[in-house]
Copies of this chain bind each other. A is one copy, B any other.
């Protein structure tokens, strides 16, 4: 029925901020009592936005208007203000809790004040109040008891960033949810409501930084015409505690500055960047800084002038320092003149620079050493680079994970990486501790996620991809959160609080990442995607300009076996890990099987732990992936009673694409690998319905997310 379809449109747009009416009367009474009289100071933009959120959410959830008082009085059931504005007797009651907060932290506490039970929301700074507001409303949305709440929370990571790979023509590199939110043509005058709702969504999960432009950068964004537009966005985002960053094209001094060089040690170049930075801060006093991809995949950089990454990063850091800005320098580099295993190159290149970067430089490292595969071992730079704050870069957009057609709950992947133990400072030296700065005492810390957000009505293309945006933000706030808790929170805020719905669907989410590993890249296989667009399988591809762009380079299948030997008999990439891990990975008997073919070239008849041969094991894993998706569909079908037609149909259609494509992956990969193994498919694996030639013939020239040709 159309009524439902229409309302669902709006629902998808609202993300996890739906604020549905609460039907449970007990909860309703509890909440109504808590907010029966609110003191909420809103004398600045951030607090105004916080109070607006209250005014939007409470009447919807509680189905009644809410009363605000203009002074703190004994009538108030809820008091919301920053610590320094509280009356002294209230300060005394919460002082200890406030003390432990960071500038972004907050408290939400039930206490007895003037002999009355009240709730207080407070923080050191305005932004803490905004974060607390969203958390408080979220707790109501997810039907948590609030009567005796005692919540003291601060983010563990400083920079919680989205990276938008958005081009000025509004195409989005690796974007699968439509096109760029930034309507440059109508900026600065026209402020799309989407900018505000984007900021609300981010603030609700604690994201505090956004890089508006693609790392494959265009210098034009640094010209006055575009800076005026960036300023308009920054003005919106500031009220939600979000700082704007831009990508800085290293050759900008030549392209837009009329200089003949962009040599970082050239005084004219240094001056140009200093002036440019001053120009930006004049417009945007809280500008975050630059994200730079240099000397990587064709981007210009300091090496064009015989300089190195430290020279480049420090030159920009010097320009930004007086204004409090940061340089975030990407470590995703590999040289076209170096045939070393690509997995080793970033470590080799950057480790010697440890300790040489200025203190406002962070080095941003992808979660794994190759490129956002369904599964990779953690990047060996984590833990090894001890004096430099490392930002971990996750990809929320699903470049190698089925685009926005596949349901894959990525917090499971993020959690796996963050929980990985680097052993670099003994057992327990997890990636999370490297990132939050606690392992080596860094003064700056950061987590970045390549955004999966676009102009699609539901923002992310797949309704469940909203959970990846949500989960990224939650993990950036607290890298120790469990993916299970995140799935639970998101499902409740997005779909339903009904436990009979949540349990099976949460399980579906938590198993979905292993499913995609199984049907795409089991047992440590990686980078066997079709050329350019990375849509679908292309393990046979061997014709690209560089060896390490070709899938055959990564799987190394031959008559004997399959897998990339990264032990001492091969590229010895294992040497970049702490010695305990190096040994574990080198030994085929101790290596976790999920990384087997990442590190070892293994004979087809090698016996896996479960007794299967490698060939049978690979084939059965592919089949298992397909079976996983079939099971996901069953789970979704069973959840139908808890969904409206549109909610049900939307995901069902997408799951059917996922099933079709899972089978495509299985059939194409197995047929191809079979040309080496010469072995039959084991029992339990469905026979392919098409020939290998058919799969090889498939071409997708207009698959979304391809790097634009002007670049």
Contact = CB atoms under 8 A, between A and B. Distances in A.
A594 to B, nearest CB: 30
A260 B140 CA distance: 68
Nearest to A59: B3
Contacts of A176: 185
B657 A194 contact: no
A471 B171 CA distance: 31
Interface residues of A, number: 52
A478 interface: no
A2 B56 contact: yes
Contacts of A455: 178-179, 455-456
Nearest to A176: B185
Interface of A: 1-3, 5-6, 8-10, 13-14, 52-53, 55-56, 59-60, 168-171, 176, 178-179, 184-186, 189-191, 193-194, 196, 220, 403-405, 455-457, 646, 650, 653-654, 656-657, 660, 701-704, 709-710
Given A2-B53, A189-B653, A190-B653, 9 more contacts: A3-B55, A9-B193, A10-B10, A178-B178, A184-B702, A185-B703, A190-B405, A709-B709, A709-B710
A11 B196 CA distance: 17
A5 B189 contact: no
Contact of A5 (B1, B193, B654): B193
Contact of A457 (B3, B5, B191, B457): B457
Contacts of A178: 178-179, 455
B169 A220 contact: no
A2 B179 contact: no
B6 A170 contact: no
For A2, A170, A656, which residue has the most chain B Cβ atoms within 10 angstroms?
A2
B55 A403 contact: no
Contacts of A653: 189-191
A646 B9 CA distance: 19
A185 B403 contact: yes
A193 B8 contact: yes
B189 A3 contact: no
A646 B191 CA distance: 11
A194 B193 CA distance: 20
Nearest to A661: B189
For A191, A455, A702, which residue has the most chain B Cβ atoms within 10 angstroms?
A702
Interface residues of A: mostly helix, strand, loop or mixed?
Answer: helix
Given A178-B455, A196-B5, A190 B701 contact: no
Contacts of A189: 653-654, 656-657, 660
Contacts of A3: 55-56, 59-60
A55 B194 CA distance: 31
A653 B168 CA distance: 22
A6 B56 CA distance: 9
A9 B13 contact: yes
A52 to B, nearest CB: 5
Nearest to A659: B189
Contacts of A168: 701-702
B6 A14 contact: yes
A169 B702 contact: yes
B52 A193 contact: no
A190 B657 contact: yes
25 contacts: A1-B52, A1-B55, A2-B53, A2-B55, A2-B56, A3-B55, A3-B56, A5-B193, A6-B10, A6-B56, A9-B10, A13-B457, A169-B702, A170-B179, A170-B704, A178-B178, A179-B179, A186-B657, A189-B654, A190-B653, A190-B654, A190-B657, A193-B646, A194-B457, A455-B455
A178 B182 CA distance: 11
A404 B405 CA distance: 31
A710 B701 CA distance: 11
A661 to B, nearest CB: 10
For A5, A6, A196, A404, which residue has the most chain B Cβ atoms within 10 angstroms?
A6
Nearest to A56: B2
A189 B650 CA distance: 10
Contacts of A660: 189
For A193, A220, A701, A709, which residue has the most chain B Cβ atoms within 10 angstroms?
A193
A688 to B, nearest CB: 19
A63 to B, nearest CB: 13
A159 to B, nearest CB: 28
Contacts of A1: 52, 55-56
Contacts of A184: 702
A123 B399 CA distance: 52
Contacts of A10: 6, 9-10
B9 A185 contact: no
Nearest to A14: B6
A648 to B, nearest CB: 13
For A53, A455, A646, A660, which residue has the most chain B Cβ atoms within 10 angstroms?
A455
Contacts of A456: 455
A526 B711 CA distance: 34
Contacts of A171: 171
For A59, A190, A654, which residue has the most chain B Cβ atoms within 10 angstroms?
A190
Nearest to A7: B10
Contacts of A710: 709
A488 to B, nearest CB: 26
Contacts of A709: 709-710
Contacts of A9: 10, 13, 193
Contacts of A702: 168-170, 184-185, 220
Contacts of A56: 1-3, 6
A142 B184 CA distance: 37
A703 B1 CA distance: 40
B2 A405 contact: no
Nearest to A708: B709
A193 B124 CA distance: 45
A6 B5 CA distance: 17
Contacts of A196: 5
A405 B193 contact: no
A193 B194 CA distance: 20
